Structure 1
Amino acid sequence: MVSPARPPSQRKAFPLRLDPALYAAIERAAAGDLRSVNAEVECLLREALARRGVKLDPPERARRGRPPKEDDDE
């Protein structure tokens, strides 16, 4: 069962306990990929699920930069 896609601003937060050596390895991998540890964990989980045949919608990219200006005719 595939869950419905959530808007990018609505992300599930939860505590995760990791072995310090595992965290350090993820941190090194994240630095090598220019990602945060959180983004690296998410990427690794998506890759592992894909190898198991679990289909997911591609992640929605966060919007970057300034929001568009609103035209105020005042």
Structure 2
Amino acid sequence: MAAKKSFPLRIDPDLYAALERWAGEEFRSVNGHIEYLLRESLKRAGRLPDRSRKEE
């Protein structure tokens, strides 16, 4: 698996609190839940890169 990219994220405190509650209900960290939500959104939009293809 490729290394994960780190970057700072500025987020509204109320939005963070809501994400924190939701992540807890799903037994995820906030970071893991944000990654999950982004991945699902990319899938629905048809914009998630196909990892099954080998890059040459």
- Shorter-chain-normalised TM-score: which range? 0.7 to 0.9
Q: Which runs of 4+ in 1 moved over 6 A?
A: none
Higher relative contact order (CA 8 A, sep 6+): 1
**Residue ranges of structure 1 left out of the alignment (5+ in a row):** 1-6, 58-74
- Please state if 1:54 is matched with 2:47: yes
Q: Counterpart in 1 of 2:21?
A: 28
Question: Structure 1 length as normaliser, TM-score?
Answer: 0.61
Identify, as 1 or 2, the structure richer in helix. 2
The CA RMSD over aligned residues, in Å, is: 1.7
How many residue pairs get aligned? The number is: 51
Q: Which consecutive residues of structure 2, in runs of 5 or more, have no partner in the other structure?
A: 52-56
Identity among equivalent pairs (%) = 52
